[in-house]
Structure 1
């Protein structure tokens, strides 16, 4: 009876569960990035650093608990002062309901090696100095089931304020781009990423048209679960030095489902 009751309790949605935006994203098969519907990715964070008194966007992030944001290890520098902006759509505008929170602590995966991006472990957690109040604009993304692997051609969306193309301008409005998952067997072929890509990563894109780009790092690869909730399956990690949308060089993400236990452990111990 307890087990049944527990199952019922865990399935009962909170006032704000995870992965269900108040403003559902307008997801289309549009090729090329596009402006997202405002506040339709309400877990998207902008990680910003202070430069001579000005806050500048540097990376994306994903709100996974009311005081925890998931991002990439390579986004973090011990010499910078950061803040996390939530509830944002246009970075250049004052938006009611958005909030800037300073980190209490930042935990980079202990196996991350900045000299060896291909080693993996490009994942970090930011503990916020306060719990944020969830709203229509600020919500949590769901984590995927541990060790779950996306099948080839799963349609996911990368979101962020990264450059619109190689060396291109930075947008003010949040962008979304449809990326199809490339399975590990294909992505690790010599003419693709070869041995650089690991099983703890997710490849998506590689059509030469659309990809993540500089400034998207740390942000989510959003994939819809069978129950309709959005899960953060990837953290933007790296792309090709040849350019952002290079053919057969898909965007590479840290595979979140390989790190569920690490995420849970860090959140429990801090």
Structure 2
């Protein structure tokens, strides 16, 4: 239990988290746009033989991603990535040493929840003005309806469209659970351990999985409130089918960290 508390403190109370040196462009509502380079400095690209998913750096040697992203045995993460078609200089490529999927994750039932995983890196990332840590919310923290949050990633620009080569961002207002769980929305497919955000023209898309839902707290810091989990099978921008995220405040708990401490 003591080791679990140490790890809990290590990944939730890191000094200086959530404050990027390069401020993101958040001044207007857009369906999606190229992000200002290095303005989401905790965003990582998760890669095996090729880029597969996104992720979030939450401690120098820990990355948060989606459990459904883990399908191979060997992964690396790339930090300070912006344009995937160019070697721009500040990138850091680090192999994943160990992968821990949520103990209740069922890969045959993404809508059952618990689509979250922690990756232990072989070495710590070098923290600088382009690679920084995200903040994690307090366990049980809730989001208000229409709270403005941003999804980031290199997923498809639209359903069936090309994969983004430069990091994209989109403003996704939160859709409260009581609305998202209505029968003509997601119904029983969404659980209280999930967060719905966006809808219609604003959505994550295939390839954004595992990446962060970034929400700014009252303290001015950016918190990772969600891990991109799934969109509607008929298309990323389906009305009344907002993007569904694993709710970080409902999953990163002492229970999960105790489980991980037994494995490290």
Output the TM-score relative to the length of structure 2: 0.92
Q: 1:253 aligns with which of 226, 233, 245?
A: 245
The answer on whether the counterparts of 1:33 and 1:175 sit within 8 Å (CA) in structure 2 is yes
Cross-structure match for 2:103: 110
Residue 161 of structure 2: SS of its match in structure 1? coil
Deviation at 1:171, TM superposition (A): 1.3
Residue 217 (structure 1) aligns with: 209
Which of 164, 172, 179 aligns to 2:157? It is 164
Task: Report Cα offsets for 1:105-160 as digits up to 9, x if no partner.
Answer: 00011111111111101000110000111011100000011101101000000000
Distance in structure 1 (CA, Å) of the matches to 2:136 and 2:39: 18
Tell me which residue corresponds to 2:75. Answer: 82
Give the 5 Å matches for 1:63-142.
63-77=57-71, 79-142=72-135
Q: How many residues align?
A: 251
Q: Which residue of 1 aligns with 2:34?
A: 35
SS of equivalent to 1:102: strand
Q: Is the 8 A contact 2:230 2:244 kept in 1?
A: yes
Contact between 1:31 and 1:209, CA under 8 Å: does it hold in 2? Answer: no
Contact 2:103 2:256 (C-alpha < 8 Å) held by counterparts? no
- Please, what is the CA RMSD of the aligned residues? 1.6
Shift of 1:266: 5.4
The residue matched to 1:195 in structure 2 has which SS?
A: helix
Contact 2:74 2:96 in 1 (8 A): no
1-side partners of 2:105 and 2:250: how far apart? 14
1:233 pairs, out of 225, 248, 253, with 225
Cα offset, 1:80, TM superposition? 4.1
Aligned to 2:3: none
1:264 deviates by: 3.8
Query: In the aligned structure 2, how far is the partner of 1:211 from the partner of 1:169?
Result: 15
Superposition deviation, residue 21 in structure 1: 0.2
Structure 2 unaligned segments of length 5 or more: list them: 1-9
Q: How does 1:195-206 map to 2 (within 5 A)?
A: 195-206=188-199
1:16-73 Cα distance to aligned partner (Å, 9 max, x none):
61000000101033321000000000000000111xxxxx111000000000000000
With over 3 angstroms needed to count, the CA separation of the structure-2 counterparts of 1:140 and 1:265, relative to structure 1, is farther
- For 2:139 and 2:87, the matched residues in 1 are separated by 38
The match for 1:6 is none
Structure 2: how far apart are the matches of 1:178 and 1:211? 9
